[in-house]
Amino acid sequence: MILSRAFVREDDSEIAGLKYDSDHSRKTVEWLRIQEKKLDFLLNDPKGQAIEAQKRGKWIADARSAIAAAREELGRPG
């Protein structure tokens, strides 16, 4: 006997897990976009290039690290 999904109760924890995964992925994509924009600013914008070299270098390294981690988490090649 096959039942329509309308009559099958879904596991609430499964639904919550799927919602969490979806929300987390959306937030990770947004974080990735922000870090890519930050890196572009630091590398290409005259105001970004005017930042003290040591501080700018650290921020560039941090942004690249965050981008790599977000891409890995999302399963996107670097």
pLDDT tens digits along 1-32: 565 666 556 667 777 777 878 888 999 999 99
Please check whether residue 74 lies inside any domain of the structure: yes
Please check whether residue 14 lies inside any domain of the structure: no
Question: What is the pLDDT at residue 29?
Answer: 95
How many structural domains are present in the chain?
1
Please check whether residue 73 lies inside any domain of the structure: yes
Structural domain span for residue 44:
24-78
Question: What is the pLDDT at residue 38?
Answer: 98
Please check whether residue 4 lies inside any domain of the structure: no
Return left, alpha or beta for 52; rule: phi > 0 is left, psi -120 to 50 is alpha, else beta.
beta
Question: What is the pLDDT at residue 4?
Answer: 63
Please check whether residue 78 lies inside any domain of the structure: yes
Please check whether residue 13 lies inside any domain of the structure: no
Helix, strand, coil shares of the chain, percent, nearest 5, are 80, 0, 20
Please check whether residue 9 lies inside any domain of the structure: no
User: In angstroms, rounded to a whole number, what is the distance separating the alpha carbons of residues 72 and 55?
Assistant: 26
Please check whether residue 72 lies inside any domain of the structure: yes
pLDDT in tens, 35-74: 999 999 999 999 999 999 999 999 999 999 999 999 999 9
